[in-house]
Structure 1
Amino acid sequence: MTDKHLSSQFDGELNQASARVMDLGGLVENQIRLAIEALSHFSLEAAAQVEVLEARVNRMEVEIDHELITLIARRQPTARDLRLVMAFSKVIANLERMGDEATRMARMVRSIIERGPARALPSGDLRTAAELAAGLLRKALDALARLDTRAAVDILKEDDLVDREFDGFVRKLVTYMMEDPRTISASLDLLFLAKAIERIGDHSKNVAELIIYLVEGKDVRHAALEEIESSIQ
């Protein structure tokens, strides 16, 4: 078998792995969409669908991770190919954790529906933050498909919007709890929901950083944004 044939087979396997990662990303996107629907309409049906999808996400993560380990063992990739496989492994871990956060959102929505009082609290503000976080995931998957470092940097900037929404919402909840201690329990439900949304944004940011690592070969996880921007010029 010629080296060219081997290289062609390896490229095909990498493309297949990439497609599997994108499939997992699409599944997690669907989870988050359903979690937002559950929150927006206080829908027990949508919340239940999120939890059903969790099992599929977990199974896919394990399967893809095994495929990547097998790929490394058989092909022993080096340089950029090795970075690609390692980045894929970290991306699927972040996607699985986003799925966990969507499931956490669904469970908190169920708790809110059962308790009732939280409906009178500012849950609408959370929908805005949730849409922002979902948008970050969509952009991260698109940037990954195109290996677009510029788009990845934009995601790092936009994650600050999610963080600011979270901080503002927490301040608002504290005000509600101080004014009426009876809202404390319900407010905590919403606080955990808000934290789950913030974490989805954080994991999308992690994916963006992995794109930069993959393309540029630079670990930018703890670098300042200005430093990251200058490193890809």
Structure 2
Amino acid sequence: MEPGKDSFSKHISNQFNIELEQIRTQMLSMGGIVERQVSDSIEALMNGDIELAEQARQSDKTANQMEIDIDQQCTKIIALRQPAASDLRLIISISRAASDLERIGDESGRISKHAIEIANSGINARFGYQEVRHIGMIVTEMVRDVLNAFSRGDLEMAYKVAKRDREVDQEYRSATRSLVTYMMEDPRSISVILNVMWILRSLERIGDHARSIAIHLIYQVSGEDVRHKSLREIKEAVHDASPEDDLDNYQSE
């Protein structure tokens, strides 16, 4: 069963069904653009590719406009249809997810900006690049996985995305400590390392926003707002909303 996909499939008004499917599709399309923006900004840094970094920055304009369009459409549906229960939660979760996607796009734009500054500096030192690649891989996977979870109403995957944010936070703190040590050992590297530290901070925030999207999906399907809950409480909400036979893969976590 796919609750997120099927929860709006039996309305008297076929037009209402179409409207709900349209905003969900728009949000997922926006997610695809933002996911590509994240990966492009990281690749641009690794390869010193200024052109790719500029392309990633320009993608942010598209994401911004899509967020506005989705938000306006959600507002219009609420005003005209006055949806209740699961339909209202679907609309709210899509609107909130679009907002988080827009912020992920903003952070990707910041990564591209710092990548351009590093490339233009002419300094070949690659302090912290290994850490950026590693954390970048994790958050890119989180964004991809949470979009897949949203498309299928998959609460198991949403929970795993939320859980993985803790890994990102730990890796970020470790990377920051390493970069501070580099700066103390070689003051000439400070300008580049500061840019890398800002990039790492943006990656950490992307992880936060991917987690938030997972939380919105859990709210949509379960009806429980777990935004400020612990991982254990989130797991319990997912457990209560999911069929028992779907939980075998993570009951023991």
- For residue 116 of structure 1, what is the amino acid of its counterpart? G
Q: Which residue of the partner structure matches residue 3 of structure 2? A: none
Question: Secondary structure of the residue that 1:119 maps to in structure 2?
Answer: coil
Q: Which residue of the partner structure matches residue 40 of structure 1? A: 46
Q: Which residue of the partner structure matches residue 106 of structure 2? A: 100
Q: Which residue of the partner structure matches residue 192 of structure 2? A: 186
Q: Could you report, residue by residue, the CA deviation over 1:51-95 in whole angstroms, capped at 9, with x for unpaired residues?
A: 121111111111111111111111011111111101111000000
Q: Which residue of the partner structure matches residue 180 of structure 2? A: 174
2: distance between equivalents of 1:177 and 1:190? Answer: 12
2: distance between equivalents of 1:21 and 1:151? Answer: 18
Q: Could you report, residue by residue, the CA deviation over 1:2-57 in whole angstroms, capped at 9, with x for unpaired residues?
A: xx874322111101111111110001011112112101211001101011211111
* 1:130–1:197 contact (8 Å) kept in structure 2: yes
1: distance between equivalents of 2:224 and 2:64? Answer: 29
Question: Secondary structure of the residue that 1:10 maps to in structure 2?
Answer: helix
Aligned pairs for 1:75-154 (under 5 A) are: 75-117=81-123, 119-154=125-160
1: distance between equivalents of 2:46 and 2:171? Answer: 17
Q: Between the two proteins, what is the percent identity of the paired residues?
A: 39
* Structure 1 residue 63 corresponds to structure 2 residue 64: no
Question: Secondary structure of the residue that 2:225 maps to in structure 1?
Answer: coil
Shift of 1:120: 3.5
- For residue 106 of structure 2, what is the amino acid of its counterpart? D
| Structure 1 unaligned regions, length at least 5 | none
Q: Could you report, residue by residue, the CA deviation over 1:184-222 in whole angstroms, capped at 9, with x for unpaired residues?
A: 222111100000111111100000011111111111111
* 1:20–1:64 contact (8 Å) kept in structure 2: yes
State which drifts further: 149-158 or 93-102. 149-158
2: distance between equivalents of 1:131 and 1:120? Answer: 17
* 2:11–2:17 contact (8 Å) kept in structure 1: no
1:159 aligned to which of 151, 162, 165: 165
1: distance between equivalents of 2:124 and 2:232? Answer: 41
Q: Which residue of the partner structure matches residue 18 of structure 2? A: 12
Shift of 1:224: 1.0
Q: CA RMSD in A?
A: 1.4
User: How many residues are aligned here?
Assistant: 230
2: distance between equivalents of 1:55 and 1:64? Answer: 14
1: distance between equivalents of 2:237 and 2:21? Answer: 27
Shift of 1:118: 6.3
State which drifts further: 145-154 or 115-124. 115-124
Q: Could you report, residue by residue, the CA deviation over 1:133-153 in whole angstroms, capped at 9, with x for unpaired residues?
A: 010000000000111111111
Greater helix fraction, Structure 1 or Structure 2: 1
2:59 aligned to which of 49, 53, 61: 53
Scaled by the length of structure 2, the TM-score of the pair is 0.87
Scaled by the length of structure 1, the TM-score of the pair is 0.95
Q: Which residue of the partner structure matches residue 4 of structure 2? A: none
Shift of 1:119: 2.9
Q: Which residue of the partner structure matches residue 227 of structure 1? A: 233
